[in-house]
Amino acid sequence: MPLAPSTDDRMDELAELLQAFSLPDPPSPTIGRRLRCDNPPPTSSPLLPQTPTRRGRLYYFDSPEKSGRTSNWSEAAAQTQGVHDAHVRRLMPKKKPRRKKGGYAVFYGRKPGFYKLWEVVDPLVTGVSCALYQGYKDLASAQAAFEYAKSKSWTRVCTSRPSSPFPAVPSSAAPIPQVPNAAGLVEPRNPLHGHAEDDWSPDSSWYVVYAGIHPGVYQSSLECGLNTVGLSCAAFDSARSKQDAIEMYQSALERNEVKVLQHPYS
């Protein structure tokens, strides 16, 4: 008859089973602190994704081993990620100060005219949906632009925000520009563009006014707006080049889609 195992033998077997199924000792807690990487990967490591350099971006990194500036995000990340007390931040470029204007012309607003200070112009155009104004190098340029716009009926008193655009009516008195020569169709350089070259920068697009106060082809969005803003029946479009704009206008002439409009209270 076999002998029953002793108490010591049972305890030894139980200890072996517990040791076989026991979990390893838990690692020391690292919550709340970052581990330092003694050997950070180099910038040219194939394991580190190379982020393409973005134009105009600059990063400043600071770590116990190295600090500096770089335009490559991968280099900044390699010096700071996994490193204790290391950080990186993006350097923002300084904004260029806006050039102060010497004069302003208010074409559509509570009181059209030419003014020297923006503090005077601000209450005349703020809150007016159809307000149109432009800054110029000096007061003389603003005055010349306003007088030119006034001669073209491009000035309007707007006292409040209308609930809907003005119901413009076709004008039978003003003739529709029928220009056989394409060169005469384009509105020439005028005081609205400023007297000095640095006062005026033409838009990348050309503008075609099909239905407005003075239909035609224009070089700036200001002239297009002066012809169409506030008129419910106004029609205009933009073109990439002068030749495209002329062809678009002449095609509209052939389809009889060019109309001269005026405000109902003009």
Q: Please tell me the distance from the alpha carbon of residue 154 to that of residue 146, in angstroms, as a whole number.
A: 9
Q: What is the pLDDT of residue 85?
A: 83
Q: What is the pLDDT of residue 201?
A: 52
- How much is the pTM? 0.56
Percent of the chain residues topping a pLDDT of 70: 64
Q: What is the pLDDT of residue 160?
A: 67
The DSSP bridge pattern shows strands 103-109 and 132-136 to be antiparallel
Q: What is the pLDDT of residue 59?
A: 84
Per the CB < 8 A criterion, the answer to whether 201 and 194 are in contact is no
Give me the residues of the chain with pLDDT under 50, please. 26, 29-38, 40-41, 43-53, 163-164, 167-169, 171-173, 179-183, 196-200, 265-266
Q: Please tell me the distance from the alpha carbon of residue 209 to that of residue 225, in angstroms, as a whole number.
A: 9
Q: At CB < 8 A and 24+ separation, what contacts does 80-86 make?
A: 81/40, 82/34, 82/35, 82/36, 82/37, 82/40, 83/34, 83/36, 83/37, 83/40, 84/33, 84/34, 84/35, 84/36, 86/61, 86/62
Burial 65-89 (b: 16+ CB within 10 A, else e): eeeeebebbbbbbbbbbebeebebe
Tell me the C-alpha to C-alpha distance, in Å, between residue 77 and each of 34, 58, 176, 213: 15, 13, 65, 59
